[in-house]
A and B are shown apart, each in its own frame.
Chain A
Amino acid sequence: MPEAAILNSGSHSLWPRRETLETALPFLALLVMLGIIFAVRPTVFSYFGLTLLFKLAIPLMFAALSQMLIINLGEIDLSNGAFVGLVTCIVAVYLEKAPGHAVLLLVGTVLVYVAVGWLISVRKLPSIVVTLGMSFVWLGCAIIILPAPGGHSPAWLIDAMRWKPPLMPLPLWTALGIAVIGHWALKSSSYGIVLRGAGANPKSVARAGWSLVKARLLLYAGAALLAVIAGLFLSGITTSGDPNVAPGYTMLGVGAVILGGGTFNGGVVSPIGTVVGALTLSLASSVLSFLQVAPVWQIGAQGLILFLVLAGRVLIGGRRL
């Protein structure tokens, strides 16, 4: 048998190489972008410049990780952006004046989010349509709380987002931190293995005696918490709340997960890749303006970047996304 010949001749080093390339691809895209920016405007590479460049990537990274947990289950959350918007409103309206209310409201939204996830899996509902409906619900709640953009985030939160940590700007520390934590939780912790297995091959995981119910609930709860953090930080950066602040997070988050090596098949997601993917996508428009691409072309160029990176993956991987 040819396989056996490969196995026994020790040339198995061929296999991981493709995987390494695949993991490296989002990094490569990010590096190319940074390279372009450096070539055009070297001065950006200062503590201050990098802070500005990546400031808005912080909440997007959390939103993308939230989406990642849902995609790990083979589903999708189209309400993510609206949920983040609602959180900014709760934070801007209540967190300073009535912290108790704010916490209660946030806990309530998390519970509703988990309950809806539960409904989807128990009744085997199409997650696309249910989360579409939920996006109206979250947006409606946000507008009820805060009809027009405004409110005020608590000073401590604004200060926290303006914090200048040593060595690296805050966004990069955040990226590093959540990439490491995310990687640990899903890729190295012993239960993370079960969570990913449950997304890809629930039958064989259940056969080994694991509770799929518990795994799914944990993933939904994790996704809700990450989206709450995204909203919290976003309102810290913008200093206010806005129901319509983040509709783009839904699809940008999905894009970051897929760019980062994830697939819609379930069980195949990468926290590090997702974080890098989010950084890449949030950088795309800056790169284009540094390149003096006319603003009208910038959105289109984002589409082309998505195509380029994903086409690269098809070329090296030959794997279905």
Chain B
Amino acid sequence: MIVPDTVPRGTGQPLKGSLKILSRLRGARGALGFAVAALLWIATFAYAGGQGAGATLSTALAFAAFGVIVGTGQMLVIASGSGNFDLSIPSVMTLAAYISMGLMHGQDYRLAGGFAVALAVGAVAGALNFLAIAALRLPPMIATLAWSFVFQSLAMNLGGEATIKPPALLSEFTVFRLGGVQVMPLFVMAMTAVMAVVVKRTVFGRHLLAIGQSERGARLAGIHVTRVRLYSYMLCGIAAAVAGFLLSGFTGGAALNMGDTYMMESVAVVVLGGASVAGGEANPIGIWGAALFFNLLAILLNTFGLDAGVRLLLTGIMVVLIVAVAPRTAGD
């Protein structure tokens, strides 16, 4: 969809000036998410007469954490090159949650085993997604969509319409506070930190971003493109599974539609977080900014007592405006 502009040979010189500016602005869209989120936060408690700043932030952090987990997975897939998207995230969330909750039967001592199974479900789902893309040569959107139907069916078979209750320990963990600070978002922040190191300082991360910028270039640099892309889809599946696992603890059980809103949210936080859909960029920290922005916006619009319709309308307009007006990332 996005054709990289080819700069004719030997015209590097006049480009210099504009590129310097571009490089300074890089990541500006990611920072924009934080800035807008901060403004929204201030606006919220200013509106409430200076009350409830902490409560607002902690609610936003808790909800944003789930968006950040799936967004980080989607980020790896999007970074692997133009056209790569994982639309199966909601169904993998549901499937992993159903399987793991079903196996744990609400018993605390099975928590570790359940978590391991959830991770395995995510990894397998990601591998299947990539297999369909590579072997059947399907566009990633169609392949992951078709698998999402299959995963959804599997989840229905396992749980039907019922909600499967999580172990009490899991529920406690997701809302646990240590000295007034929630622990679960801290864990997700740690994951973000790890991911920031992974994309910058590991061979996998560097290779992934290289492939996203130029698949041909990456092949000629000796990079094993297929393997790296497989890993990115598997990691995305794992992220979805983790989000599904934690979300069922947070909301009181695995439900069929639990992941529905995350398909759109996972893509939106990646792009608003400062990466380009053309691939080759990853900004794990920016995802937090975008996810906080989304959730604070929801809270603010709620505090204003606006209708659901107006809230959606304003959210949509904000998304379009940020993408249209914000400075381009280098990858765009």
Contact = CB atoms under 8 A, between A and B. Distances in A.
Q: Do chains A and B touch in the complex (CB under 8 A)?
A: yes
Interface of A: 74-76, 78, 116, 119, 123-130, 132-145, 147, 243, 251, 254-255, 258, 263-264, 294, 296-304, 306-307, 310-311, 314, 320-321
Interface SS, A side: helix
Contact of A314 (B137, B311, B312): B137
Contact of B137 (A74, A251, A298, A321): A321
Given A137-B320, A303-B153, 12 more contacts: A119-B324, A123-B324, A129-B277, A129-B319, A130-B324, A132-B268, A133-B323, A144-B310, A304-B150, A306-B149, A310-B146, A321-B142
Given A298-B153, A300-B152, A142 B309 contact: yes
Nearest to B265: A132
B112 interface: no
Nearest to A298: B153
28 contacts: A74-B1, A75-B1, A126-B271, A126-B276, A126-B277, A126-B332, A128-B267, A132-B267, A133-B323, A134-B316, A135-B316, A137-B320, A141-B309, A143-B307, A243-B309, A255-B142, A263-B139, A264-B83, A299-B156, A300-B153, A303-B145, A303-B150, A303-B153, A306-B149, A310-B136, A311-B136, A314-B137, A321-B138
Contacts of B309: 139-145, 147, 243
Interface string B117-157: 00000000000000010001111011001111111111011
Contact of A140 (B132, B157, B316): B316
Contact of B312 (A74, A116, A129, A140): A140
Contacts of A133: 268, 316-320, 323
Nearest to A259: B142
A136 B321 CA distance: 13
B7 interface: no
Contacts of B307: 143-144, 147
A251 B160 CA distance: 24
Top 7 closest pairs, chain A to chain B, by CB: A300-B153, A136-B316, A140-B313, A303-B149, A143-B309, A140-B312, A133-B319
Among A125, A141, A142, A300, max chain B CB count under 10 A is at A300
Contact of A296 (B160, B310, B317): B160
B313 A137 contact: yes
A169 to B, nearest CB: 28
B271 A137 contact: no
A74 B139 CA distance: 13
B146 A306 contact: yes
A255 B145 CA distance: 9
Contacts of A136: 312-313, 315-316, 319
Interface string B16-28: 0000000000000
B239 interface: no
A55 B136 CA distance: 33
Contacts of A128: 1, 85, 267, 277
B40 interface: no
A124 B278 CA distance: 11
Given A126-B271, A144-B307, A144-B309, A310 B317 contact: no
A314 B136 contact: yes
Interface residues of B, number: 49
A143 B309 CA distance: 5
B149 A300 contact: yes
Contact of B146 (A126, A127, A307): A307
Interface string B254-288: 00000000001001100100001110000000000
A249 to B, nearest CB: 13
Nearest to B312: A140
Contacts of B136: 307, 310-311, 314
B15 interface: no
A140 B310 contact: yes
B175 interface: no
A298 B271 CA distance: 34
Contacts of B138: 310, 314, 321
Contacts of A127: 1
A140 to B, nearest CB: 3
Nearest to A296: B156
B2 interface: yes
B314 interface: yes
Nearest to A266: B1
Nearest to A300: B153
Contacts of A78: 264
Interface in B156-206: 156-157, 160
Nearest to A284: B149
Among B2, B157, B267, B323, max chain A CB count under 10 A is at B323
B308 interface: yes
Contacts of A76: 1, 141
Contacts of B154: 300
A264 B271 contact: no
Contact of B142 (A130, A141, A258): A258
B317 A124 contact: no
A314 B133 CA distance: 12
B2 to A, nearest CB: 7
Contacts of B1: 74-76, 126-128, 264
A297 B313 CA distance: 35
A116 to B, nearest CB: 7
Contacts of A129: 267-268, 271, 277, 319, 323
Contacts of B316: 133-140
A215 B276 CA distance: 27
Contacts of B160: 296
A93 B160 CA distance: 36
Nearest to B322: A133
Contacts of B315: 136, 140
Contact of A320 (B137, B151, B277, B319): B137
B70 to A, nearest CB: 15
B324 A126 contact: no
